[in-house]
Amino acid sequence: MKKILIVFALIVILSVTSTSLFANGQKEKSGPAKSTVTFWLADYEGIDHDFVKQIASAFEAKYPQYKMDLVIVDWNALHDKLTTALAAGTPPDASVIGTRWLLEFMDLGAVVQPKKYVSQSTFDNIAPGAMEAKINGTLWGIPFAAGSRFMAINTSLSDKVPATMEDLEKDAIAATKNGNYGLIMPGAKHTELSDFVYYFYAAGGNFFDANGKCTVNSAAGVKALNFMLKLIDTDKVVQKGFLSQDRKQAQPIFFAGKAAYVMIGAWADTEYNKVSPSWKIKYAQIPPFAGNKPAPLIVTDSIALYKDGKNLEGIGKFIDFLYQDKWKAPLDKQMGFPPVTISASKRPEFQTPMYKAMAEANLHAKGWPLVTGWAEASSIIMDATQKAYLHQMSAKDALDWAAAAVDKARGK
């Protein structure tokens, strides 16, 4: 009996020892635990998802103490996804945002100053003019993308560059033949109000007055929306099914060679080159209405760092890594945006006709209003334009409704 107990004890000891050795071996093999760095990147048109994976892998190779969670998020879902995560206290360490969202996130106390975590050398290489997210002298968002909108023309359907919106109407009508369309106009609701703002700014419109009251129902707003309705209903130059198409669904019709004109952004060259078309593309300015000055939209996006992020030190290192020309310049080229970094802006791939058109547009460009509650205001105004498209309201009634609803939502 005693021998049996001794044997049993030896088995137990050996078992524990083996388990301990195995565990130690496993620990040695797996190495120290890595901390996760989380970044949400907006899914820009033209972006190469495989290249984004390369960026994450290269960062992990350089900084083996980190695991990079680089998430691509649809633009239409990004704002709501961020606000939900912020409310739950579980945001990423940093994300791309529309700069226009920044005041909203600041009011929530959700963002931190990026200069606390990102190196000065990175900021020294960013063009000062791109620093739109500087509020009361303090930078709250790192410039990520900035570019004015412009017009692209399919020269096989029209070689005319319209000087005014009225000229555009005539040229689009002339190009609408043989099953082709004169003009692309997305009509489905999506994140950006740009399909209305091109005409609104061209008519001299402003979204708010000096007291913060919404003025989308001004004479300029009514003129812009009525003009759009004329293009749709009377001139019939807009693509079929536009009401069910957002930007990503509508613009491929242009790149398929089926439309003469489109008001577009920095991704135009990337999308054009993807399809290798037989027709030539030409770039021009979005025209104003007769008697008005050009005022194309300029869109800026930033990177925000979040107070509740779990690895702000790590995200600072990732942003420094990302902003090297090796990674940021190709990413800018895919998205079509001119680079915000000084070093990349000198590269030959950014000296093309499209970038020259954007540079010209920058001279007269006007941004989105930087006000609290802009995301909700933009959504309301899009609802109003759809009411007009569907003939549920006149342009004036729809915009009156929108102005009142925006003011109520903003406490005005």
Q: For residue 230, give the CATH number of its domain.
A: 3.40.190.10
Token pair listed for 55: 């960026």
> Are 194 and 288 within one domain?
yes
In a domain, 29, yes or no: no
Q: Structurally, how many domains does the chain consist of?
A: 2
pLDDT at 30 (0 to 100): 55
Tens of pLDDT, residues 235-267: 999 999 999 999 989 999 999 999 999 999 988
Percentage above 70 pLDDT, the chain: 92
- One domain, residues 218 and 239: yes
CA distance 311 to 371: 29
In whole angstroms, give the CA distance from residue 343 to residue 130. Answer: 14
Q: Is residue 129 part of a domain?
A: yes
Rg (CA), the chain: 26
**Residues 113-162: pLDDT tens digits?**
999 999 999 999 998 878 888 888 899 999 999 889 999 999 999 999 99
Q: At what angle do helices 194-202 and 219-229 cross, to 10 degrees?
A: 120
pLDDT tens-place string over residues 184-210 = 999 998 877 889 999 999 999 999 999
Q: Hunting for tokens 């702000």 — which residue is that?
A: 312
Give the residue numbers spanning the domain of 111. Answer: 35-147+299-351
Which residues have a Cβ under 8 Å from the Cβ of 129 and sit 6 or more positions away?
none
- If asked whether residues 67 and 143 sit together in one domain, one would say yes
Residues 394 and 245 in one domain: yes
Query: Is residue 253 situated within a structural domain?
Result: yes
Q: Tell whether 242 and 100 lie within a shared domain.
A: no
Tell me the three state secondary structure of residue 35. Answer: strand
Whether residue 155 sits in one domain with residue 141: no
Residues 170 and 259 in one domain: yes
For the entire predicted model, the pTM comes to 0.80
Q: Supply the mean pLDDT for the chain.
A: 90
For residue 192, what pLDDT is reported?
79
Q: Are residues 131 and 169 in the same domain?
A: no
Say yes or no: 254 and 382 in one domain. Answer: yes
pLDDT in tens, 366-393: 988 888 889 899 999 999 999 999 999 9
Has residue 19 been placed in a domain?
A: no
Residues ≥6 apart with Cβ < 8 Å to 153: 159, 160, 161, 260, 261, 281, 282, 283, 284
Residue 210 in any domain: the answer is: yes
* Strand ranges across the sheet with 259-264: 181-183, 259-264, 150-154, 281-284
Q: Are residues 143 and 285 in the same domain?
A: no
Return all residues near 383 (Cβ < 8 A) that are at least 6 apart. Answer: 189, 402
Same domain for 171 and 266 = yes
**What contacts 327, CB < 8 A, 6 or more positions away?**
55, 58, 321
Q: What is the pLDDT of residues 270-283, one digit of tens each?
A: 899 999 899 999 99
When pLDDT is cut at 50, 70 and 90, the band that residue 31 belongs to is low
Read off the pLDDT of each residue in 92-119 and give the average, rounded to a whole number.
95
Give residue-wise pLDDT tens across range 39-50.
999 999 889 999
Query: Does the residue 320 lie in any domain?
Result: yes
* Domain annotation covers residue 199: yes
Task: Check whether residue 137 and residue 189 sit in a common domain.
Answer: no
Please, how many CA atoms are within 13 Å of residue 94, restricted to the half-sphere of its CB? 28
